[in-house]
Amino acid sequence: MKALNLEGTEDTPRIILDKSTNSFELSGRALPEDAAEFFQPVLDWLDEYNNDANPQTPFIFKLEYFNTASSKLILDILSKLEDIEGSSVDWYFHEDDEDMEEAGEEFSELVDVPFEFKTY
């Protein structure tokens, strides 16, 4: 399965989805002009990955900021992780960023995926 590796920009997050190295990460800022279009390859990749997933899928979210449109797509990603057996979420937030911590807590209540909260 081909890895999805997108470099982050000022408005889009870095995305690493690599089954061979068991690396799954979304980091940086998520303010894409068209969030649905930007995140569609991620959702498609996760659908394909779910057909032959690794025993463990530790997904790292290390976002500095995301807009409202991106929050809906982040929830869609988390919903896909619900269907992938062995998936978990490491939700990173800057120790001073209560908003990002709260966002992670809210997401964790909406999906049935184990969350671990970590500061950096």
Whether 85 maps to a domain, the answer reads yes
What stretch of H or E contains 61? strand 57-66
**Residue 73 confidence (pLDDT):** 98
Whether 70 maps to a domain, the answer reads yes
Is 15 exposed, middle or buried, given 0-12, 13-18 or 19+ CB atoms closer than 10 A?
buried
Whether 16 maps to a domain, the answer reads no
Whether 90 maps to a domain, the answer reads yes
Task: Report yes or no on whether pTM surpasses 0.75.
Answer: yes
Mean pLDDT of 94-115: 97
Whether 36 maps to a domain, the answer reads no
Q: Which residue has the tokens 């999906």?
A: 111
Whether 107 maps to a domain, the answer reads yes
Domain span including residue 90: 55-120
Count of structural domains within the chain:
1
What digits encode the pLDDT tens for the residues 23-75? 999 999 999 999 999 999 999 999 999 999 999 999 999 999 999 999 999 99
Whether 116 maps to a domain, the answer reads yes
Using an 8 Å Cβ cutoff, are 61 and 17 in contact? no
**Residue 60 confidence (pLDDT):** 98
Mean pLDDT of 10-17: 98
Average pLDDT, the chain: 98
Which tokens in the block code for residue 110?
Answer: 């909406």
Whether 49 maps to a domain, the answer reads no
